[in-house]
Amino acid sequence: MPVQILKEKFTGTVQEVVLGATKEEGGTRSNTVKLGGSSTLPFLQYEGDIPNRPVIALEVLDIKPDWGEAFEPYYGDVWSDPAAWAKKTEELGADVIYLKLAGADPELENSKSADECAKIVKAVLENTSKPLMVEGPGHPEKDNDVLQAVGEAAAGENIAIGLAEKDNYRSIAAAAMMGKHCVIGRSPVDINILKQLNIMIADMGVAPNKIINDPMSSGLGYGIEYSYSIMERARWGALIGDKMMAFPVVCLAGPEAWRAKEAYAPLEEAGPGWGEQKPRGIMWEAMTAASLLQAGGDLVLMRHPEAVKLVKKHIDDLMKPNLY
Amino acid sequence: MAFYMIGERINGMFNDIGEAVAKFDPKPIQDWAKKQDEAGAAYLDINVGPTAADRVKSMRWMCEVVTEVSDTPIALDSTDYDAIESGLEVCKPGALINSCPAERPKIERVFPMAKKYDAKIIALTMDKSGIPKSADMRVGFAMELVASADEFGLSPDDLFIDPLILPCNVAQDHGPEVLEALRQIRLLSDPAPHTTLGLSNVSQGTPFRPLINRIYCVMAMTCGLDSAIMDVNDDELVDAIATADMLLNQAIYCDSYAKVFRKS
């Protein structure tokens, strides 16, 4: 007797958001990237459509990071040059480039000005062809200045800028609207604030196909289950028709995974049975990313090229149609 | 699961609409369409009223003038199925036929029509002998209606089953029976049929209409009610529904939940 597969019937769809603009669309990217668009839970092709596979962004900073020797062989020669670094991430398989303007943090000595940040963004765009996302330094006033300048510098490129937060979203959303860019709304692992922030951004007049959510990821072993349940709940809301829960989700898997001692500790500082740092760190990041993809991530931000390979292969496997 | 508010105001029983229908004056009808849209109506009920000379012609005209100003699907409210069909011809797919009782000849007229025009149906748990008193009898009719949906190629959730509430000052004993019927109707099929009520009926003839309407609506929602034909411009009623929807975990809480409810 054939087994009847029970299928959930959903009424809603995750909003599709396009990142980047090709020459025909007024930008200079070689291709655009579509996020979201699903009408089912992650990877359950038999219940609905998943028109766009999840994508991987690689991280680029505008200052030399303290990432340690695990990354030296890959990025050591480009750490001082964000444009070259961005180019390198393309070679290492990035679908999207994620530039964090950490050097504009006003707490730093020689903090970069908004103009300097705009120049970096221009240089990155000139040297690369993939869509770009730009995160400000994470300081409210400076974010507003920097992201406005960035939005102007990247006119026509349909980048994403953020992070817009509940107490500081207006200027960033306005900068996105002015430059016809996307805005990334960040909520602190809080489903209610996630929804409220989306409402406030949408109320400002930002089009639904220009809103991306960062529900704040946690790394494996450090609260990933909270992120998972928030993302799962949001996706469920989207699928039952809550439009304010239906924006594509980005997960900062790399930065969170590598904050864990389990990822970075060298062998001599490792716990019993942890093993060599290199495979351990890579696996820690890959597992974090894989879990966040299962929770509904549409874009995972990653850091280690070997982890990227693993996750790409994993996505390939999961995207094979499982129709019944 | 969302809650579908069906705006009751475009009905010839109301004087302004009755006059508009008589004079073929679109303005009051279109004004109410817009006003109910703004309040968050999921459907706009249209009833030509008792005085219309030609129900077929009036229904079609009312649907046309509403469609001119609103994309909200229409609930075609009439006992004259030719009038409903004339309206369906000019409505977009996804309209709602209001209504069909559990009587075979009417089912045979209405259900194929719903299929043809891609419409949904408000199906009443009653037959020729009138409104049953008990929950069990109501559920029995609901079961017949769900079976008929299947027979005519409709999904159970193409039905909005109305277990029929009567005024509390006339038939107080019906209140709990309707609630029990709502509970059971939700269990009849998967997907479950939708349920609805002519909410304003419950308070008919009492001096406390808004209060009674909103209390009963919230009580019914806890039993599974997911739609009502109602005064969508009664803000306190809509706030109560939005709050119940959220407390029942049907909508994710946020500080603007009542505002968002009206937009969703």
The CATH number given to whatever domain includes residue B155 is: 3.20.20.20
B-chain CB neighbours of A199 within 8 Å are 254, 256, 259-260
For residue B71, count CB atoms less than 10 angstroms from its CB and return exposed for 0-12, middle for 13-18, buried for 19 or more: exposed
Global confidence as pTM? 0.87
**What are the two backbone dihedrals, phi and then psi, of residue B6, each rounded to the nearest 5 degrees?**
-105, 115
A203: tokens are: 């109320």
- Does A267 map to a domain? yes
Kindly determine whether residue A199 and residue B254, on different chains, have CB atoms separated by under 8 Å. Answer: yes
CA distance B219 to B183: 11
CA atoms within 13 A on the CB side of A96: 31
Average pLDDT for B182-202: 96
Kindly determine whether residue B260 and residue A244, on different chains, have CB atoms separated by under 8 Å. Answer: yes
Q: Is the pLDDT of residue A322 over 80?
A: no
Predicted pLDDT of residue B1: 56
From A237's Cα to the closest Cα of chain B, the distance in A is 7
From B197's Cα to the closest Cα of chain A, the distance in A is 22
- Does A222 map to a domain? yes
Each residue of B111-156: pLDDT tens digit?
A: 999 999 999 999 999 999 999 999 999 999 999 999 999 999 999 9
Q: Tell me which residue range forms the domain holding B120.
A: 4-263
Which residue does chain B place closest to A12, by CA atoms? B1
For residue A218, count CB atoms less than 10 angstroms from its CB and return exposed for 0-12, middle for 13-18, buried for 19 or more: buried
Kindly determine whether residue B252 and residue A192, on different chains, have CB atoms separated by under 8 Å. Answer: yes
Predicted pLDDT of residue A9: 84
Query: Cis peptide leading into A248, omega within 30 of 0?
Result: no
Q: Is the pLDDT of residue B9 over 60?
A: yes
* Of residues B2, B191, B254, nearest to A195 (C-beta): B254
Predicted pLDDT of residue B263: 84
Taking only residues 95 to 114 of chain A, the set having a beta carbon closer than 8 angstroms to any beta carbon of chain B reads none
Q: Is the pLDDT of residue A85 over 90?
A: yes
If you average pLDDT over every residue of chain B, what do you get?
A: 96
- What confidence tier does A68 reach under pLDDT thresholds 50, 70, 90? confident
Predicted pLDDT of residue A314: 97
- What confidence tier does B52 reach under pLDDT thresholds 50, 70, 90? confident
Each residue of A131-189: pLDDT tens digit?
A: 999 999 999 999 999 999 999 999 999 999 999 999 999 999 999 999 999 999 999 99
- Does A31 map to a domain? yes
CATH of the domain at A89: 3.20.20.20
Tell me if A181 sits within 8 A of A161, measured CB to CB: yes
Kindly determine whether residue B264 and residue A241, on different chains, have CB atoms separated by under 8 Å. Answer: yes
- Does A324 map to a domain? no
Predicted pLDDT of residue B2: 85
If you average pLDDT over every residue of chain A, what do you get?
A: 95
- Does A191 map to a domain? yes
Which of B243, B254, B260 shows the shortest CA–CA distance to A196? B254
Average pLDDT for A81-99: 97
Predicted pLDDT of residue B51: 83
Each residue of A94-139: pLDDT tens digit?
A: 999 999 999 999 999 999 999 999 999 999 999 999 999 999 999 9
Q: Residue B172 contacts by C-beta under 8 Å, 6 or more apart in sequence?
A: none
Each residue of A219-230: pLDDT tens digit?
A: 999 999 999 999
A-B contacts at Cβ under 8 angstroms: 36
Predicted pLDDT of residue A324: 64
A-chain CB neighbours of B264 within 8 Å are 241-244
- Does A70 map to a domain? yes
Predicted pLDDT of residue B159: 98
Which residue does chain B place closest to A11, by CA atoms? B1
Kindly determine whether residue A195 and residue B2, on different chains, have CB atoms separated by under 8 Å. Answer: no
CA distance A86 to A119: 14
Q: Tell me which residue range forms the domain holding A64.
A: 17-318
A-chain CB neighbours of B256 within 8 Å are 196, 199
